Amino acid sequence: MSLLVVGSVGIDTVETPAERREELLGGSAVYFACAAAYFTRVTIVGVIGEDFPSEHRKLLERRNIDLSGLETAPGKTFRWSGKYHANMNDRDTLDVQLNVFGAFTPKVPLAARTADFLFLANIVPAQQHGVLTQMARRPRFVAADTMNLWIQNARADLDALVSDVDALVLNDSEARLYTGEHELLTAGRAVLAKGPKTVIIKKGEHGALVVTRDGKFVVPAYPLEHVVDPTGAGDSFAGATMGYLAACGAVSPDNLRRAVAYGSVVASFTCQDFSLDALLRASRAEIDARFQELVEMTRIPD
């Protein structure tokens, strides 16, 4: 099944307690697509500037990612700079330069308007919703991401979007802010009341809580001995989750459980090096092996 992602494509500068790296390939759509590409073909809709390195484009093309929706606009590419604290969970955003991304209006290529699965990565909620109006038909499954900025400053547009998607993906602090509920299960159910059938609440190193109209389940994060750079882990999680579902062609309860587990596994690879380096070094066989490890680690004997 075809998969479409709409989101940011950018250049990152990342500083951790051990090292600083500059001019790294980043952006929500990039991490998502590279993770999803292990399971299915994915199309990116995004924008880059004239300064976007050609080697980055070639890297994405080598991953069999469709770049027909990647627009090149006059100006500079979106740039983000961040610094991680010693615990590698908390970070400070040092600089954001929207550049061409600031005037970005998503334009879905004709061939991608019949995509079966659609992921609306973190952009302005009204633009996320506008993507749905460009689709030739309703995708089988639509999921969206969001952030604190939109919860605080674009609540009406976000509510309209959430009422029109099948799943909302957000982290624990966002879920609490959006619903006013401290307990995450209660927050998840409050989001369900707004319209979607599924809510996926990311909890970083503590995994993810999934709340549906039929129940709930938890998938732990795959444990790592050493985290190098967690940038993009959440987007990789979403990419693998959606990629697996698209490969299955249906969102059954069992498929959803396996998809979220694959999301946890693929996100763990992302954390093991800067940018996409560790994720792109991984083979599908290594991903499957780590998935089986996670299954065994969480198995409870009868």
Ordered structural domains, the chain, with CATH: 3-297 (3.40.1190.20)
Backbone angles phi, psi at 81, to 5 degrees: -135, 135
The string of pLDDT tens digits covering residues 5-61 is 999 999 999 999 989 999 999 999 999 999 999 999 999 999 999 999 999 999 999
Please provide the size of the chain in residues.
Answer: 302
Q: What's phi and psi for 153, nearest 5 deg?
A: -115, -5
Render pLDDT for 165-189 as a digit per residue (tens, 0 to 9).
Answer: 999 999 999 999 999 999 999 999 9
Please state the rounded mean pLDDT for residues 289-298. 96
Give yes or no for residue 64 having a pLDDT over 90. Answer: no
b/e for 252-273, b at 16 or more Cβ within 10 A? eeeebebbbbbbbbbbbbbbbe
Reported as a pLDDT band with limits 50, 70 and 90, residue 96 is: very high
Side chain identity at residue 131, one-letter code: V
3-class SS of residue 292: helix
Q: For residue 137, what pLDDT is reported? A: 95
- Mean of pLDDT values over 187-197: 98
pLDDT in tens, 143-168: 999 999 999 999 999 999 999 999 99
Instruction: Report yes or no: 105 and 78 within 8 Å, Cβ to Cβ.
Output: no
Per-residue pLDDT, 168: 98
Per-residue pLDDT averaged across 221-246, rounded?
96
Q: pLDDT band at residue 228, thresholds of 50, 70 and 90?
A: very high
Nearest C-alpha neighbor of 73 from the set 95, 51, 56:
51
**Torsion-angle region of residue 140: left (phi > 0), alpha (psi -120 to 50) or beta?**
alpha
* pLDDT mean over 201-205: 94
Alpha-carbon distance 219 to 113, whole Å?
32
Question: Whole-number mean pLDDT of the chain?
Answer: 96
Residue 302 has pLDDT above 90, yes or no: no
The more confidently predicted of residues 114 and 89 is 114
Residue 264 pLDDT exceeds 90 = yes
Average pLDDT over residues 89-107: 94
Alpha helices by DSSP H, listed for the chain, are 28-36, 54-62, 125-134, 148-153, 155-162, 172-179, 184-192, 233-248, 253-270, 277-281, 284-297
Q: Which of 266, 220, 219, 278 is nearest to 37 (CA)?
A: 266
- pLDDT of 229 higher than 90: yes
Nearest C-alpha neighbor of 17 from the set 90, 91, 85: 85
